[in-house]
Amino acid sequence: MSMIAFMAYKVNFFLIIIGPALVFFFIKYNLWSAIYSLKEGIQIQGYDFSEMINYQVWVLIVSLLSQGFFSSQLAEDIRLGRISSYLIYPFQFWQFHLASFLGFQTIQMAVAGFTILILFGSDLVQVPTWEILTSGLVMSFVVGLIWFSFQFLIGLSAFWLEETWVLRVILITVTQFLSGSILPLEFFPLWAKDLLSMTPFPYMTHVPVKIFMGAYEGSLPILVGILLLWLGIISLVCGLMWRSGLKRYSAAGM
Amino acid sequence: MVIECHGLTKEFRTYKKQPGFLGTLKSFFVREQILNRAVDHFDLLLEPGALVGLLGPNGAGKTTLMKMLTGIIVPSSGKMKVLGFTPSERKLQFRRKIALVMGQKNQLWWDIPAMDSFLLLQKYYEIADGDFKKRVGFLSEMLDVEKVLHIHVRKLSLGERMKLELMASLLHEPEVIFLDEPTIGLDLVAQKNIRDFLRVYQEERQTTILLTSHYMADVEALCSRIVLILGGKKRFDDSITKFSQILGREKFVTFTFERGVDQTSEIWKSHDPKWKFEGRQVELRIPEERLRELSATILNQYPVVDFHTEKMPIERVMSTLISNPHLL
């Protein structure tokens, strides 16, 4: 049902789902082109121009695969008392939203798959092996779950806040900067990298990108374990917020 | 007992804000809190198979009570059990056994035919295919909506939508149904169709139903018991007959005459006459024990062309009590 809803309006679909990631990629492509054209053959923090573009292409793919979902509908439904029907149906509220997210992810997978095929035909990206591609896709899916739980958490804040879009903007901005979406994490000082490794942010973009590039040196099972741990922590916070929020819920407008 | 509430209370906290920019600025630092007790120490006992009318004016607390009984909102204090469950725990087994129909709120998906929504509800409630087909057939025939099952909901009339909403909430055969103004906004024929359906359905299945409605015709046709809520408090809980007699055991009788009659006659004086059409119609308040004798006298002595007792005494009782709650 959510897949049908997402695709119901073609312009909206393009603007919301594909547009921002593509625009962001072209801005970064032009920016890095300008920087690298200053001096021929230059390497910055170990990245030459083609490696940087390769990195940024995979950032685009990872963001399409894992960071496209937004919870604005949930926040609005809570504020306007529209979640009441779902409180009566015999399933858990998060299950409904997870199903909606999975529907959305299916579309995103198709969009990302199409984008990957086009990019493989260009010289912008190095084509990975099937094994690397599969690892990257699995990792991106788990990252997508973390992104969904962050979004769900922000949506739940509507039990307390009138407007939640500010939180969403903060999450997007902070994630893009701290996850290596704008600058690869090699550009950060060592102490900042150490500090970041204790947060979920590096796993949101930098690590999956490195996996797609075949440059990740750590153990994949341990990585999945860390991601699941973060997923568990955020889900726990969501559970507490849900229980506490429901006590405040007045089902206004019903 | 199917529903059991003791001292059920719900308080809402709101904040007062002065108008204008200065008011907004002031409320940023100092906010005056207002505590609104929507439901106040409410007790209620409902036996299996009861069909009870929950009455009260707007803002009396009816919907808040419904929300608490269905587990949508959490009570501030008090105890309540519905089918042995505590609604605010929102256990899945509990949710499978109840239904809430809101006349002012859609649960059917607007952009798809009702049948698609029903199929989704079949999955939600895990209804076996055979049972589902049987129930859809039975309910759609009873509600006369077979022809509109496959039409987009947004293209249907309000009456058809309401019937389909009812159908959607009955597919899982709930043991308790909460009906919040199910006939609101419907024309007289559609109201009657919904009422007739509910009466037959309830008689056949003995489902427990708690109904709120501002239409006394709904209440009179369906409910044998009335619970009146005013200002969040329960003010009456007894049979509909006793409710209609709250203001005294009197009948309101209207006589229409062929021509204007003498309004100064002694016969009218002790019965609070309300004259209309220059003495050609009068409404009298007559004690029940004097009804036969006085009616016979008037029929014999005056050129009566029509007379009738009031159609819905509970409507008069309701409107009197809403404006004068101290009478209770």
User: Tens digit of pLDDT for each residue in B199-229?
Assistant: 988 988 899 999 998 888 888 888 989 999 9
Q: Please choose, from the candidates B253, B303, B311, B305, the residue with its C-alpha nearest in 3D space to the C-alpha of residue B282.
A: B253
In terms of Cβ atoms closer than 10 Å to its own Cβ (0-12, 13-18, 19+), residue A172 is middle
Measured between beta carbons, the chain A residues lying within 8 angstroms of B72 are: 84, 87-88, 249, 251, 254
> What's the pLDDT at B122?
93
Nearest-Cα distance to chain B for A80, in Å, is 12
> Per-residue pLDDT averaged across B235-246, rounded?
86
Rounded Cα distance between B219 and B312, Å, is 10
Residue A88 has its nearest CB partner, among B74, B95, B104, at: B95
Q: Please choose, from the candidates A217, A212, A214, A216, the residue with its C-alpha nearest in 3D space to the C-alpha of residue A57.
A: A212
> What's the pLDDT at B266?
84
pLDDT class of B128 with cuts at 50, 70, 90: very high
> What's the pLDDT at B51?
93
Q: Does B127 touch chain A (CB under 8 A)?
A: no
- Distance set, CA A142 to CA A72, A146, A151, A186, B256 (Å): 21, 7, 14, 23, 81
Closest residue on chain A to B116 (Cα): A1
Domain architecture of chain B: domains with CATH: 3-244 (3.40.50.300), 250-327 (3.30.70)
Domain boundaries, chain A: 2-248
Tell me what the pLDDT averaged over chain B comes to: 87
Sign of CA dihedral A56, A57, A58, A62: positive
Rounded Cα distance between B318 and B307, Å, is 24
Q: Does B143 touch chain A (CB under 8 A)?
A: no
Nearest-Cα distance to chain A for B103, in Å, is 10
Residues whose CB is less than 8 angstroms from the CB of residue B225 and which lie 6 or more positions away in sequence, other chains included = B50, B51, B52, B53, B237, B238, B239, B240
- Asked which of A42-51, B131-140, B171-180 is least confident by mean pLDDT, the reply is A42-51
What residues of chain A score a pLDDT lower than 50? none
> What's the pLDDT at A119?
80
Between residues A125 and B166, the one the model is more confident about: B166
Instruction: Determine the residue among A1, A3, A89 to mutate to test chain B binding: the one whose Cβ has the most chain B Cβ atoms within 10 Å.
Output: A89
Q: Is the pLDDT of residue B235 over 80?
A: yes
Phi then psi dihedrals of residue B285, to 5 deg: -105, 110
> What's the pLDDT at B127?
94
> What's the pLDDT at B149?
92
- Asked which of A235-249, B140-154, B240-254 is least confident by mean pLDDT, the reply is B240-254
> What's the pLDDT at B218?
86
Among B residues 70-99, those touching chain A with beta carbons less than 8 Å apart: 70-74, 90, 92, 95-96, 98-99
Measured between beta carbons, the chain A residues lying within 8 angstroms of B70 are: 87-88
> Per-residue pLDDT averaged across B80-85, rounded?
94
Q: Is the pLDDT of residue B233 over 60?
A: yes
- Distance set, CA B193 to CA B52, B107, B187 (Å): 19, 20, 10
Rounded Cα distance between B258 and B75, Å, is 60
pLDDT over 90 percentage in chain B? 39
> What's the pLDDT at B255?
92
pLDDT over 70 percentage in chain B? 99
Q: Is the pLDDT of residue B54 over 90?
A: yes
Nearest-Cα distance to chain A for B73, in Å, is 6
> What's the pLDDT at A4?
57
> What's the pLDDT at B65?
93
